[in-house]
Amino acid sequence: MDSIWIPLAAVISFGTAALLGKWMIPFLHRLNFGQTIRESGPTWHKKKNGTPTMGGFLFIVGIILAMAVCIPLYYKQSGEDSLILSMGTKVLGGLMMACGFGLIGFFDDYIKVVKKRNLGLNVRQKLVLQFLVAGAYLYSLYRAGSGSRMLVPLFGSVDWGIWYWAVSLFGIVGMVNAVNFTDGIDGLNASVTFFAAVSFLVIAGILRLEPVGIFASAVAGGCLGFLVWNFHPAKVFMGDTGSLFLGGAVCALGFALNLPVLILLIGVIYLCEICSVVLQVVYFKATHGKRLFKMSPIHHHFELCGWSEVKICAVFSLVTILCGGAAVLLVYFGL
């Protein structure tokens, strides 16, 4: 992939997110759209109370703008090849799915801000809306001609039959919430997702799927631009608006490559986060009040063990780099 559209997408997304923060953060302050820190969290997080939330709009706007500029220019340069158009449908459908999840997050954040409490939509409301968005995306793939076959490194193309759609539906909703749980300390979610997006970008290059590379590049650039404002000490939080959008984007990248199985490897940090929450709840109930971790999600456990927020971001990012590298090698040698 030797065109300029991939680096251009990264530059547009990064620049938009970074520059938009100079206007949007003061705007959120004026609206009093501040985060209410939950009482059960680490006590030192109380000083973050009132930090503006819904900052996910910084990279959402950047990613959408980058896609709006680069995808049409790419198609104009590449022509109307049916394979290219099919891939574009997957990519744009994935972007719409991410926006749908981001909209759910916005509703959740808005309720939190208006109610001035750290609770928004209830669990049932969130799940119903999330299943609707994921289902609509999968239906769009079906209508676009996508079958039940997916690529699995070392095994080639595998037909999952009807299970493909059922597993995909629950897998998308689960992973989106896993990415949401990863948001809890300064810079963590954006850092991890930046390296996840870079991994998908490299895989898209190996498979020569440039529209997916443009999307991955836009996501990586948006996360990096957001980190200008979100790295410790954070001046803005992404909120559920941003974390649910990123969850949708990560899933969309995996499905656009027809390698959703690699989401599990590249997104191992997300899985650790959500599994720590599930294990904590199960263990707490089974032992009548004992805790498996000092606190969940697991990044808070490490905080209570004395790790700084910067150290957690660095270690979790390194794990993502290593797992992303393993995924790249699996694709390069295993397909």
* Cα 82 to Cα 85: distance, rounded to the nearest angstrom: 5
Q: Which domain holds residue 112?
A: 5-334
| DSSP three-state, residue 331 | helix
* DSSP secondary structure letter of residue 195: H
Rg of the chain (C-alpha set)? 19
Contact 74/8 with Cβ under 8 angstroms? Answer: no
**Identity of the amino acid at 168:** S
Crossing angle of helices 123-143 and 82-115, rounded to 10°: 170
Per-residue pLDDT of the chain (335 residues; tens, 9 = 90+): 567 999 999 999 999 999 999 999 998 888 776 666 555 556 556 566 778 888 999 999 999 999 999 998 888 887 656 556 667 778 999 999 999 999 999 999 888 787 666 566 888 999 999 999 999 999 988 887 788 889 899 888 889 988 999 999 999 999 999 999 999 899 999 999 999 999 999 999 999 999 999 999 999 999 999 999 999 899 999 999 999 999 999 999 999 999 999 999 999 999 999 999 999 999 999 998 899 999 999 999 999 999 999 999 999 999 999 999 999 999 999 87
Quick one: which of 64, 85, 66 has its CA closest to 75? 85
Q: What is the pTM of this model?
A: 0.94
How many domains does the chain fold into? 1
- 182 by Cβ neighbours in 10 Å (0-12 / 13-18 / 19+) ranks as buried
Backbone angles phi, psi at 184, to 5 degrees: -170, -20
- Token pair for residue 111? 């309720």
**What is the number of helices (H) and of strands (E) in the chain?**
12, 2
- Token pair for residue 144? 């676009």
* Cα 232 to Cα 103: distance, rounded to the nearest angstrom: 26
* Cα 190 to Cα 202: distance, rounded to the nearest angstrom: 18
**How would DSSP label each residue in 131-184?**
HHHHHHHHHHHHHTT--SEEEETTTEEEE-TTHHHHHHHHHHHHHHHHHHHT-S
Crossing angle of helices 57-78 and 210-230, rounded to 10°: 160
Altogether, the residues listed in the chain come to a count of 335
- Token pair for residue 311? 């150290």
